[in-house]
Amino acid sequence: MRFLYRIPLAALLVAGALFLVSAFVFPVSETSYAGNYHLRHLSAAARREMRSQISPLSKTDYKEETGLENTSLQFALRPGTIVSIYLPHAGFLWSDFNAWDEEHAIFYPLDMSSSSLEAATWRVVFKDPIGRMKPWVIQRPVTSYSPSGTISPVLHGDRILLRDAELDGFLTAEAQPSILDRLFLGGDPTTGRHEVNVQAVPGNGSLWTIKYNPATDCGFRLYNPERSCYLSSSLRNFPDWDGALNDTIAALLHLELEATCMAEPKDAVSRLFLVDGNSILTGKILRSIICLRSIIETARKSLNITRNCWGS
């Protein structure tokens, strides 16, 4: 009889220990204890659910804005809306007042004097800081403006500009090889990776073609017709010359991965998602649909069915 009682007690202890470990490693919000130590590996839908702790951006209804009801556009991107852009396993698309110093092979703030820094060019990386978001704005090129251009959705194949709402610069793909390719591979052009940065004035490489299905939450890809490449990440981190991130946990928490424009990247490193802003779904409706979508997705996988994510 005692043996029968010991089995469920042992099971409860094991289950409790697993729960405590999972709660520590995967907190229920981005500002919980342990922060986002592993959260960069979660899906965009999961990250949206966790953003409620850091005041997510307001969401508006497509029908309310346009007066039209079109389910084929329920996940369409809207110009003029502040959004955050997320790449699973890499983090959020991020830029700041740092620039690459070619001479010293390190990032320096632009207010520091260095002959090799360009005054109007800022770095772009993928990172996942705790409890913060990076605002971007999807803009139409001036030549494509129309009376309804500020509210009409962005469709598959449209060309857009991506503006940093803080730096007031534009995401740009350069003609030269990516930073880490120049640093470690001597600028080998055969890798097909171009440097990506933010420039104060949009140039030839600042125009992007969006490829996605606005009827599904399958994410989107940004193709640069000037450089013939897709916005992506090489998933490589920058060298820590001075050992400031010598601590393994600190290195992971402050991980900054290279953003590039790659000629033929895999879908996993180039399919982007919105986490903050732009969604037409709010509150309980959003949570219910995410839950229902998870159940449907599990059933589809068991039946080996894939979603219609055309526009790659």
94-127 pLDDT, tens per residue? 999 888 888 888 887 876 444 444 556 899 999 9
* 183 within domain boundaries: yes
* 82 within domain boundaries: yes
* 26 within domain boundaries: no
* 312 within domain boundaries: no
pLDDT of residue 178: 94
* 31 within domain boundaries: no
Please report, for the domain that includes residue 256, its CATH number. 2.80.10.50
Q: Tell me what the pLDDT averaged over the chain comes to.
A: 76
Q: Which amino acid is at 101?
A: D
Residue span of the structural domain in which 200 resides: 36-302
| Cα–Cα dist 218/222, whole Å | 13
Those residues whose C-beta lies under 8 Å from the C-beta of residue 144, and which sit 6 or more positions away, are: 158, 159
Split at pLDDT 50, 70, 90, the class of 70 is: low
210-240 pLDDT, tens per residue? 999 998 889 999 999 999 999 999 999 888 7
In the chain, the number of structural domains is: 1
Would you state the structure tokens that stand for residue 5, as one six-digit string? 């009682």
* 6 within domain boundaries: no
**Strand-pair category, 208-212 with 220-224:** antiparallel
* 47 within domain boundaries: yes
* 114 within domain boundaries: yes
Rounded mean pLDDT, 282-305: 46
pLDDT of residue 58: 40
Rounded mean pLDDT, 56-79: 60
